[in-house]
Amino acid sequence: MSEENAPLHFIEHIIEEDLSNGFDQNKIRFRFPPEPNGYLHVGHLKAIALNFNLGQRYNAPVNLRFDDTNPVKENQVFVDAIKENIQWLGYQWDKECYASDYFEQLYQWAIYLIKEGKAYIDPQDSSTIAEQKGTPTQTGTNSPFRDRPIEENLRLFEEMKAGKHPEGSHVLRAKIDMDSPNMLMRDPVMYRILFKHHHRTSDAWCIYPMYDWTHGESDYIEQVSHSLCTLEFKPHRELYEWFLDQLPSYNDLRPYQREFARLNLSYTVTSKRKLAQLVDEQFVNGWDDPRMPTISGMRRRGYPPQALINFVTTAGISKRENVIDVYLLEYCVREELNKTSARVMAVVNPVKLVITNYPEDKTEKLSAVNNPEDESQGTRTLPFSKELYIEREDFKEEANRKFFRLTLGKEVRLKNAYIVKGESVIKDNDGNITEIHCTYDPESKSGSGSEASMRKVKGTIHWVSVAHAIDATVRNYDRLFNDESPDQHKEKSFLDFVNPDSFSIQNAKIEPSLASLAIGERVQFQRLGYYTLDKDATSSNLVFNKIVGLRDTWAKKQ
C-alpha cells in the first residue's frame, strides 16, 4: 500500500478537521525535537517519519529542533550523529533550530512572568520543594517564598543570571496552583542554576530553562502548528497551554500539542539510557553495533532506509501503547532487499567438491542473472572450474528421501551450472570429510537449451570456484535479547536477558565479482540471506554483516 493510498491515521484526521474548520494550510508546520544526549533509536524513527511524512503530505516545513537545555548530558557529537541519521533516512528539514538560540527570549519572557506576578524565586532545596508538592491524592503546600515581592524576585533572578548564586541555591518557579489535581501544575520549576559549559552557548549562561518552559515557547517562536509528542507528555499539555497563555502577545499562530503512542518493539529496548548502558558495559561494540536498535546500528547492519520507513508506516500511528513484533521490522527489511539486492554466491561453511571428469585446467565463464525480481539489474559472469566449494551442510553421505541436496549416488544441480552426481569422499584421520568427489553431466549446462539442461533433479545448491574464490569474514547476528520484553521484568534487569549467542563469525569463500563491492552495499548470498559490506572491510579482508535471513528462522528455533 503506498503512503498516499493508506487510510488516514488519527493525527491526519485532526489536521484534516483543522483544515475543514478554516485553518490555513500554509500555516502548517511541524518539528522533530531530539535532545542531543544520545543516539537516535528505532523509537525516534517513528517520530521522525511521522513528522516528515506529514510535512510531505501537507507540503509543510518540518524543523529539526535540538532540545538542548541540559548542558550536563548534551554534546556536539550527538548533534552531528542525529543530523546524519535523518539525512540518511532521506528526509530534509526546513530550519535547523536550537532551543539554546532562544535562551535570551525565554529569559525576557521569564522576567515578564515575574513582573506579572506569575513566577517567583524559591531558595528551598529540591527535596523540600518535592515534599511540599504533595501527592496525586494530597494537595500541596505553598512555598513560604511564594508571595515574595516582585522587585525582590526580579533582583534575585538577575543575580542568578549574573552568576552571583551557587548551583542549587535558588530556582525560578511558575506560580500556578499547589492544589491542582495535575502535579505538573503545582508551581513547576522554570529555571535552575547550572555552572556548566554548554556545547553551543559556551559559558554565556549559568541558568538553564526546564523542558516544559522551553518546549511550547520554542514551538511558538518557530510557529509550529502541530507539536507532536509521545503519550507520556499528555499530562504536560495543561502546562504547555498555561505557559503559552502567559506570553505577552497572541498575534501569531498558537501551537497545539498532540500525543501519540511510543513505538515499543519486542525483543528490544528503546530507551537512550538503557542503550547507553549496553554500550558502557560493553555488551555491544559501540552505538553503531549492528545488533543495536539505533539508527546508526541498523544502518550498519544493512537495513535499507526505505525498509525502516515502511516499517514504521506499516506499524501505524496509534493513540494507545502497544508492542510491535520485531518480526514486522525484519519482514520489511526482507521485502525491500528482495526487490533491490543482487543475488550472488558465497559459501560460509566450505567443503571442497572435486569434479573428477572435468578437465584439469579449464575455466568456463557462466552467465548468471543478478536479480530475478528486477531484470534491469542484468547478468554477470561466474568462473567455473574442476574444484569448487560447497556448503558442508549441502552434502550427506547417506540421506533420507527428504534431503534434496548432494548425496552419494544422487544428482543435484549446481546453480547456474551443471548437474553433478556424488561419487565418493575423502576423510581425515578424525573422520571429517575433506573432499567430496563427483562427476558432472557435460550436456546439462544451465541455459544451454539442451535436453539435459532441462532435466529435473531433486535440488539446486550454490558453489564458488576454489581457484577464483575470495576469502571473506562473515559476522552473524542474532537478537540481542532472548526475551520478548527484556525491560518489563520486576525482579530482573534487562541486562539479564542479553542473548550470549547474538554474535558469531564465519570464514567464507565468495564469488570474485564481490571484490568490487562498496562499503554499505547489500547483496543476497543465495540460499543464505542478505549481507552487506561492513565499514571494517579492507581490500585484503572483506568483512560482511549478515542483515537478515531469507525467511524467519527464529520461530523454528524456539
Q: Which residues bind ligand ATP (CB under 6 A)?
A: 33-35, 43-44, 46-47, 229-230, 262-263, 270-273
Closest approach, Cβ 318 to ligand ATP, in A, equals 11
For the bound state, the minimum distance from the C-beta of residue 160 to ligand ATP, rounded and expressed in Å, comes to 26
* Helices within 247-350 (DSSP H only): 272-280, 295-301, 305-315, 326-340
Residue 161 CB, shortest distance to ligand ATP, in Å, is 26
429: amino acid identity, one letter: N
Cβ 193 to ligand ATP shortest distance, Å: 23
| Residues 6+ positions from 21 with CB-CB distance below 8 Å | none
Which of 12, 35, 84, 364 is catalytic? The answer is 35
Nearest CB to ligand ATP, comparing residues 70 and 132: 70
Cα separation of 358 and 150, whole Å? Answer: 98
Cell 521490522, residue?
329
How many Å apart are CA 31 and CA 257, to the nearest integer?
Answer: 11
> What is the rounded distance in angstroms from the CA atom of residue 281 to the CA atom of residue 277?
6
Closest CB to ligand ATP among residues 273, 490: 273
In terms of DSSP bridges, do strands 503-510 and 346-347 run parallel, antiparallel, or are they unpaired?
antiparallel
| Separation between Cα atoms, residue 260 and residue 320, nearest integer Å | 7
Q: Give catalytic status of residue 104 as yes or no.
A: no
3-state secondary structure of 371: coil
Nearer to ligand ATP, 273 or 362 (CB): 273
Closer residue to ligand ATP (CB): 173 or 272: 272
**Which one from 192, 272, 291, 413 is the annotated catalytic residue?**
272
For residue 321, the Cα-to-chain-centroid distance in whole angstroms is 19
Instruction: Provide, rounded to whole angstroms, the least separation between the CB of residue 234 and ligand ATP.
Output: 11
The C-alpha torsion from 438 through 441 and 446 to 447, rounded to 10°, is 170
Q: How is residue 487 written as a grid cell?
A: 525491560
Active site residue 73: no
C-alpha dihedral sign at 517, 519, 522, 525: positive
319 labelled catalytic: no
Categorise residue 240: left if φ over 0, alpha if ψ from -120 to 50, beta otherwise: alpha
State the residue number with the nearest CB to ligand ATP.
Answer: 43
Q: Which is nearer to ligand ATP, 275 or 464 (CB)?
A: 275
**Cell digits of residue 446:** 544451465
The three grid cell numbers given for residue 321, joined into one nine-digit string: 501503547
d(CA 78, CA 83): 9
Q: State the Cα–Cα distance between residues 181 and 173, nearest whole angstrom.
A: 18
CB of 488 to ligand ATP, least distance (A): 14
Q: Quick one: 230 or 349, whose CB is closer to ligand ATP?
A: 230
Query: Per the residue annotation, which of 262, 396, 421, 475 is the catalytic one?
Result: 262
Helix and strand totals (H; E) in the chain: 14, 29
Which cell numbers in the block locate residue 422? Answer: 556424488
Measured from the CB atom, the residue of 75 and 271 that comes closer to ligand ATP is: 271
Q: In angstroms, what is the minimal distance from the CB of 64 to ligand ATP?
A: 11
Residues marked active site are found at 35, 262, 272
